[in-house]
Structure 1
Amino acid sequence: MRGEASQYLTRYSLEKIEGLDAKALAEEAKAIFAKYGASLHYVGKTDANEVSQLINNGLTLSTENVRIAPADGVVQPLSETTIYLLHDPKAVQSQVYYSVTGKPFDVEDLSAARAFNSYYGGGFSGLVLQEIREYRSLAYSAGGSLNYTGYSDEEPTQLVSFTGSQADKTTDAVTVMLDMINELPEKPDRMPSQLSYLKQSALTSRPGFRGLSQSVEGWEVVGYTQDPNSLAFAGYDALEFSDIVALHEKYVKGQPILVTIYGDKDKMDLDKLGQLGTIVEVEADAVMVK
């Protein structure tokens, strides 16, 4: 999705990691603090001034608020549903991921987005696991969620789903998943239980005291001016099942789907798979650094 900027291509190889020098790494870390803006969080009994002095003695901090982009490159546009296939004759199962890139997230949709994720991929009661595994026995594992970072007004949303199945059931699992992504099955009778769960989660969800300041900063970075749990909770009472459907139509429906498959292609129905999207076979070294 992110082309040559993918973290799987830009990361160090195991061989290079084994050859790293601890002292050189420490110096590199110091150089990063000197170049980029940094957020330092401390929890403890030591006086803040003393902590500040210790930090200043050990690090040279940048006076410029230069930020490192949180995303590893720009998501590459997709014009049609495309299936990337990485063949491994030794693979017993097929690991399949599905990604739909949508428009940037509107914070007004937070309550509906959380309800959608609970309905779509909420564990054993979620739509994906029930439709793929429980009803059809096409996968050992399945799930999915709509990811909405909100790091910038340009950062797209992404619906990411997955299935893990026997190689000979891969094509059938992909078929059902693509159908669900394109046409969301509607089961409005589940709405009351979903809302009850979401409300209880919002009431009991709280960062631990050691991570509280980091959580607050994270909320601010993505644009929240208050605890997103309270913001979402305020919208639950007015939420209806039609809002989940509308959210799916806004961010997911009608978009091309990126499918990545790792497995034994000799046990898959490639002719049927090719009817679902354009198949592109790739080698391991083209998509990841080992």
Structure 2
Amino acid sequence: MRVQNVTKTFGDFAALHGIDLEIKPGEFVALLGPSGSGKTTLLRIIAGLEFQDGGEVLFDGEDVSSRSVGERQVGFVFQQYALFKHMTVAENVAFGLSVRRKGRPPKADIRARAEELLRLVQLDGLGKRYPGQLSGGQRQRVALARALAIEPRLLLLDEPFGALDAKVRKDLRRWLRGLHETMGLTSIFVTHDQEEALELADRIVVMDHGRIEQVGTPEQVYMEPASPFVSNFVGETNQLPGGIHVRPHDIDLVASGGIPVVVDNVFRRGGSWRVEGRIEGHDRVVEFDVNAASPAPTLGDTVRIQPLRERQFHKRRL
């Protein structure tokens, strides 16, 4: 799948500015960014739920820009499930097949397909229940099974875990990654959760104000941010004097030299002490981690820090 020079405006608001992006077969790609960055608009344009003002959407080299969502053969999973409350779980899963105008399978085949998918998403035996009788995590699995029923060439997910609590979200993320690999899917998902993107995606597309700031693997985006925005949005970062950006875990305490910091707060964070302080002479807050096997720095003390790995940005990446 490829989008070329895609633009979109809503009234006076420019939602997308000349987006170029290629998704390879079998990839799991995250569109990551804050609210208003254009990620959901881009996903809806790929699906055919919105239409771009300019540019092309290509599937296997063929321009599908004028085709409806039904003609594009994509599966779409929404944050709020969008299940039919009056239908059973099995009927919800089978819906996409049962309303096909062309090539609709026999009813027995549709039922068998629904049962097969419910087993795949670990909900076998629940086909006769209604959505209201399921947990949030189970409803999201039903929504995913329904999207897979049509055997989509592309699976699109819009904040698929946003309505779930943290524990269920983490379990479903792990499960979805395994399902993606087992089925050989090509998937794109929208999220504003950096942890979700770093854990799930093969590649991350970081967006801001309708533009792509960076495309790369989770390792590249986290360790080699292409702009100050990426550095600040993906993971935690400090800006030191001289325009240097550095992650909290890439700062070490030193006995002499370095940058003097007055310790304002110390608290445990997993296997480390998280230290917050102010750089002397700059009134700038800095955060860094100290191995919890070492004594915690004392509030009010002045310590000296040295960046282990740093990055400097000379201009904004467009």
Question: Quick check: TM above 0.5?
Answer: no
Q: Higher relative contact order at CA 8 Å, sep ≥6: structure 1 or structure 2?
A: 1
Q: State TM-score, norm by structure 2.
A: 0.28
Higher Cα Rg, which structure: 2
